[in-house]
Amino acid sequence: MVRLTGFSPRSVAKWSQGETPSPKQGKALVEMDRLFDGLARVIEPAQVGRWLTQPNSAFDGFTPLQVVERGELDRIWRMLYDLESGQPS
């Protein structure tokens, strides 16, 4: 969670204790939820965590997690679109 959102472990701990995220934090959390939903449509949900940490040739050998950390989430959304629509990559 920390690496995907870019928020500190302290913030995540506060949220798990019931503190409400700020609007900006909430937006990032909703985006991550949407990402997991999208990934679960094309990857076995139990495998999503593993997939995020494995180097992927579709991302020039970077892991999907590194792609997210670099602010290139659109690359993952494009991959999901291509997979779901049957477009060749």
Q: How confident is the model at residue 20 (pLDDT cuts 50, 70, 90)?
A: very high
Contacts by 61-67, CB closer than 8 A, 24 or more apart: 65/3, 65/4
Domain that holds residue 49: 2-85
Number of domain units in the chain = 1
What pLDDT score does 61 carry?
Answer: 95
**What is the Cα gyration radius of the chain?**
14
For residue range 73-88, list pLDDT tens digits in order.
999 999 999 988 887 6
This prediction has a pTM of 0.77
64, burial (CB in 10 Å: exposed 0-12, middle 13-18, buried 19+): buried
Exposure of 38 in the CB half-sphere (CA atoms within 13 A): 19
How far apart CA 37 and CA 16 sit, in angstroms, is: 21
Can you tell me the mean pLDDT for 44-61?
93
